[in-house]
Structure 1
Amino acid sequence: MVRSRCFTQAARFFALALLLLTLAASRSAFAAQTSLTWYGQSAFKLTTPSGKVLLIDPWITNPVNPNGKADVAALTHVDLILISHGHFDHIGDSVAIAKATGAKLVATGDLAGALVAYAGYPKDQAGMDTQGNFGGSLSLLDGEVEITFIPAIHSSAVTPPAGDDHGLGPQYGGSPGGFLIQVKNGPTIYHTGDTDVFSDMSLIPHHHKVDVMLACIGGHYTMGPEGAADAVKLVNPGVVIPMHFGTFPALAGTPAEFDAALKARGVKTKLQTLKVGDTIELK
C-alpha cells in the first residue's frame, strides 16, 4: 500500500514536471517569432526565430529616418544583405555595414559583380553561394531561410561613389528584381523591389503562399497605389505593408490612397502601415 502510494506520488510529480517543461518549451517557441523593422524607403531588417539578421535594400540613413546613423551603428550583427537592384536608394549603407559585420551579399550575379567592382562591396563576402538569378532559389543560413529571386519591371545601374568613378558614370547592374523569403518555422515574405505591376505576379501564390508582401506604392518611378492594389490582388498575401513612398516629393502615393484602392477592388488582404523605425512580429 505504501509502495503504491509512493509510486502514485512519483507519477504525479513526473507528470507535473513534464507539463511544466512542455509549457516552458511552448512559451519559448511562442516568444521566438520572426520580427520585421522598417527604416523607411525599401529598407527592412528581418530577424529570424533563431536570431539570424537579414537586411533588405538597406538605405537606412535616408531622409525620413532621423535615427539613421544610430540605426546603422547598432547593426553589429548582420548575416545577409539582400539588394534588389543597383540604384543608390537600395544599395544605401550596405557597403559600410558589410565591412563592419562581414555580412554576405545576396543578389543576382550581374549585380553582385557590379557592387564589388564599382561600389566597394567586399569581394570575399559576395561569393557564388549567395548569388542567384530569377526563378532560382538559395538555401542559406543552414537551411533557416530560402530565398527565391523574383523579376521586377524597373531598371538597374550602379553609380560609383563621387570622386571614385574615374569618369565612368553609371555602370551595368544587371536586371532589377525582388525577393521571396521563406523563413523556417516562420512566414514567407515577398519584397517587390522597385517595380510596376505585372501579370506574372499571379504565379507566385501558385507555388508559395505569401504571408507578408512589402509593396512599393510611391508612384513616379514604380507602381503607385492603384497599381500596387492590383499587384496585391494577384499575389493575395495575408498582410501587405506599403514601402517606397514619401521619401522624396516625387514619391507621392500614400497609404490612404493605397487603402482606398484595395477596398475598391474588394481585396481582403490586411493593410498594415508602419512608421519609420517600427518593429513588428510576424506570426
Structure 2
Amino acid sequence: MSDDTKKNRRTDHGHGRRAVLRGAALGAALPLLPAAAHAQTRDPGPSPVPGSRPSPDHGSASLRWLGTSGWRIDVGDRTVLFDPYLTRFRTGLFEKAFDPATKIAETDPGLVREYAGSPELILVSHAHWDHIADVPYIAKATGARVVGTETTFHLLVAFGVDPLQISVVKGGEVLDFGDGLTVEVVASLHSRNKKHAYFTPGTLTAPPATAPATISDLPEGDTLAFHVTAGARGPALFLMGASDFAERQVEGLRPDVAMVAVPSSSSTHRYVPRLLRALGRPGVVVPVHWDNFETPLRGPVRPDPTMDLAGLVAQVRRESPGSRIVVPDYRTVYGADMRPRA
C-alpha cells in the first residue's frame, strides 16, 4: 500500500492454559468488572480525531459478540461474520491438561441457525481452531463468501468448501461489497506467550492430503485484522483476532469502534498504547478474547481467569480517556455505537 493511500484512508505439559495461544497470565487474575458487561465508562461525545469521517448512522447496523474474537454484524438484511467459533469443545486448555490431539468437533447446526443466520460474508483472522472450526460448515451451508489467508483457503478446500467461494487476501486490499459495505484487509500478527512463541505456527501452500482431524492440524497461517465500514455512513469497525498487530499497517485507520484482543503476556511492547495511538484513539473500545471459550455459547460469559481484562480496561482509560469502554456479553445485541438495543 502506498504512503499516500495510508495517509488518506479514514474510512508446559509445557503448555498451560491459554499460553499455547497467547501466553501466561500477568500475575494473579483480576476479577471481572462489576456488573459491567456493557457498561459505559465514558460519555460518548464526538470523535476526538480531527478530520474523521461524518458521524455514522448508528441505526444502520447491529452487532452481537460470538465470544472469543467473533462477531456477527448485521447491516439491514445483510450479515457479516468475523471468526465465528460457535460449537465450542474441550481441549483441556482451561484445565491445565491441554491436548493438541483433540479432535475437531462437528458443528452444531442449531447454533449456526441461532447465531450465524444467513451470512453473505465470513472474515477469518487466522486458522487456529477457536477461529476457524465452524467456518467450513457455515460456508457450505450458506454459500457465504470467505475472506482469509492462503492457509485458510487450503484448509477450507480440504474441508470441502468450493474454492471459488474463497477470496485469498494478504493485507492492503480494500474490498467493495456494494451499498457502502467495504472491508479493508490489514496485515497483522498473532499474539505470543511469555517465551515469545505460540501454538502451531506455519503456513500452507497447498491443501493437506486429508481433511484436518485435530486442532494441531490447523496452523495459524498468518494473521489478519479487518477494518469494516458497515454502510454508506458507517460505522467503521476494527476487528482483530489476536493481541498483536503491525503498527505501520494500522497507522491511519480511524474506526468508530475498535474490538481489542486482551493480551495475556507482556511480550508485545506497549501493546495498548501503541495500538490506540495508531488507531486514532477510537470513540469506543471493546475488549475481546478474554472469555473461557470452552463453555457453551448459550450460557453466561465465564472469564478466563488468566486474562487481565481489568488491566486492559485500566490501560485504555489511561491512554485514551475520551474512549468509551464496553465489555460485551453473549446475550446482548448492540447498536452500531455499542449501546444495547431494546
The answer to whether the superposition gives a TM-score over 0.5 is: yes
Deviation at 1:166, TM superposition (A): 8.7
For residues 230-269 of structure 1, what are the structure 2 equivalents within 5 Å?
A: 230-235=274-279, 236-247=281-292, 252-269=306-323
CA gap of 1:146–1:266, structure 2 versus 1, over 3 A, is closer
* 2:201 corresponds to 1:147: no
Once residues 266 and 146 of structure 2 are traced to their aligned partners in structure 1, the CA distance between those partners, rounded to angstroms, is 25
What's the CA shift string for 1:12-34, capped at 9, x where partnerless? xxxxxxxxxxxxxxxxxx79520
Measure how far apart 1:63 and its partner are.
6.1
CA contact (8 A) 1:188 1:210 kept: yes
2:225 corresponds, among 173, 178, 188, to 178
Which residue of the other structure, out of 79, 93, 98, is the alignment partner of 1:53? 79
CA contact (8 A) 2:175 2:184 kept: yes
What runs of 5+ residues in structure 2 fail to find an aligned partner?
1-56, 91-107, 191-200, 294-302, 338-342
Structure 1 residues 263 and 134: alpha-carbon distance in aligned structure 2, compared to 1, 3 A threshold: same
Kindly state the Cα deviation for residue 175 of structure 1 after the two structures are TM-superposed.
2.2
1:201 positional shift: 5.6
List alignment gaps of at least 5 residues for structure 1. Answer: 1-29
Cα-to-partner distance string for 1:44-82 (whole Å, 9 max, x where unaligned): 10001x220000000022369xxx864312234111111
Aligned to 1:133: 170
Contact 1:181 1:188 in 2 (8 A): yes
SS where residue 182 of structure 2 aligns? Answer: strand
Q: Tell me how large the CA RMSD over aligned residues is.
A: 3.4
**For residues 185 and 258 of structure 1, what CA distance do their matches in structure 2 show?**
30
Distance in 1 between residues matched to 2:229 and 2:305, nearest whole Å: 29
Which one of 235, 239, 256 corresponds to residue 211 of structure 1?
Answer: 256
Q: Does the 8 Å CA contact 2:64/2:72 hold for their aligned counterparts?
A: yes
Corresponding residue to 2:88 among 54, 62, 77: 62
SS of the counterpart of 2:139?
helix
- CA separation of 1:122 and 1:136: change in aligned 2, threshold 3 A: same
Match of 2:287, SS? strand
Matched position secondary structure for 2:66:
strand
Quick one: which of 155, 159, 167 aligns to 1:119?
Answer: 159
| Structure-1 residue corresponding to 2:111 | 71
Cα deviations across residues 68-104 of structure 1 (Å, max 9, x unaligned)? 8643122341111110111111103111111221111
Report deviation, 1:143.
4.0
Q: How far off its partner does 1:182 sit?
A: 1.1
Task: Please name the residue that 1:25 is paired with.
Answer: none
Change (3 A) 1:202 1:87: closer
Does the residue aligned with 1:214 lie in a helix, a strand or coil?
strand
Shift of 1:238: 1.2
What aligned pairs does 1:187-198 form with structure 2 within 5 A after superposition? Answer: 187-198=235-246
Displacement, 1:264?
3.0
The one of 23, 34, 44 equivalent to 2:61 is 34
8 Å CA contact 2:127–2:152 kept in 1: the answer is no
Task: Note the alpha carbon deviations across 1:172-209, whole angstroms, 9 max, x for none.
Answer: 6642111011122220111122142543266133xxx2
* TM-score computed with the length of structure 2 as normaliser: 0.60
Label 1:61 to 1:222 Cα distance change in 2 as closer, same or farther (>3 A): farther
**What is the distance in 2 between the residues matched to 1:265 and 1:31?**
25
8 A contact 2:59–2:336 mirrored in 1: no
**Residues 246, 254 of structure 1: 8 Å contact kept:** no
1:84 aligns with 2:96: no
The number of aligned residues is 239
2:151 match: secondary structure = helix
Higher share of residues assigned strand: 1
CA contact (8 A) 1:189 1:210 kept: yes
The amino acid of 2:71's aligned partner reads F
CA distance in 1 between partners of 2:74 and 2:266 (Å): 29
SS of residue matched to 1:40: coil
The 3-state SS of whatever aligns with 1:237 is coil
Shift of 1:275: 1.0
Greater helix proportion: 1
